[in-house]
Chains A and B, each alone.
Chain A
Amino acid sequence: EAEVAQSPRYKITEKSQAVAFWCDPISGHATLYWYRQILGQGPELLVQFQDESVVDDSQLPKDRFSAERLKGVDSTLKIQPAELGDSAMYLCASSSHSGQPQHFGDGTRLSIL
């Protein structure tokens, strides 16, 4: 089982609703990443944190997506309102610092109806 904890494993909701994902990285890992992966594609980086600071959120659709890591440990990713095209796997990963191998959580599979 992955050492990075994510919840929920699955989420089914209707469009226009709010969705939230949670991630607890490996203890001591300063860098945390949120990815979105559509079936048949590679993971796409949404946001990268170094401790509590955002390092890169250039690919995050900021009109509906938000992410925070207030205490530099666990993190939440929120979508409001959800759209049909948001259906995907949302993966969280952590590394000791940038440039080091990333360890992934099991992911949250999101289905928007």
Chain B
Amino acid sequence: RKEVEQDPGPFNVPEGATVAFNCTYSNSASQSFFWYRQDCRKEPKLLMSVYSSGNEDGRFTAQLNRASQYISLLIRDSKLSDSATYLCVVDSNRDDKIIFGKGTRLHILP
């Protein structure tokens, strides 16, 4: 299994729909998890941290499943402005290793 793996997409989703994607990780010692958003030719920007209990920020919900070693991102009522690449980041505090996934491309269609 790759260290951090994401479905590259693209996910083509109509505006207003709900979309979800996962990110799997191989290191069971991983401690910190994040979702970043990256627009074309821009720098990644932190979308949300992923906590063990899950967390929600408006239309966005992130979940962690330690048993199956994946994190998920759910976007409700999708907007055109949600079109971007979503990067999963896994940080193993034990060896300070940070791994970015290759990203999942999301296109919201009008």
Contact = CB atoms under 8 A, between A and B. Distances in A.
A34 B101 CA distance: 16
12 contacts: A40-B102, A42-B87, A42-B101, A44-B100, A48-B98, A56-B97, A91-B44, A98-B98, A99-B96, A102-B98, A106-B43, A109-B41
Interface of B: 31-32, 34, 41-46, 49, 87, 89, 91, 93, 96-103
A44 B101 CA distance: 9
Nearest to B40: A39
A101 interface: yes
Contact of A42 (B32, B43, B103): B103
Contacts of B97: 56
B21 to A, nearest CB: 14
A50 B95 CA distance: 13
Contacts of A105: 43
Interface residues of A, number: 26
A41 B102 contact: yes
Given A98-B98, A101-B49, A107-B43, 8 more contacts: A35-B100, A41-B103, A42-B102, A42-B103, A48-B98, A56-B97, A98-B91, A106-B43
Given A99-B32, A99-B91, A101-B49, A45 B98 contact: yes
Given A98-B93, A99-B91, A33 B44 contact: no
Which among A33, A50, A100 has the greatest number of chain B C-beta atoms within 10 A?
A: A100
A40 B34 CA distance: 19
Contacts of A107: 43
Contact of A43 (B34, B44, B45, B49): B44
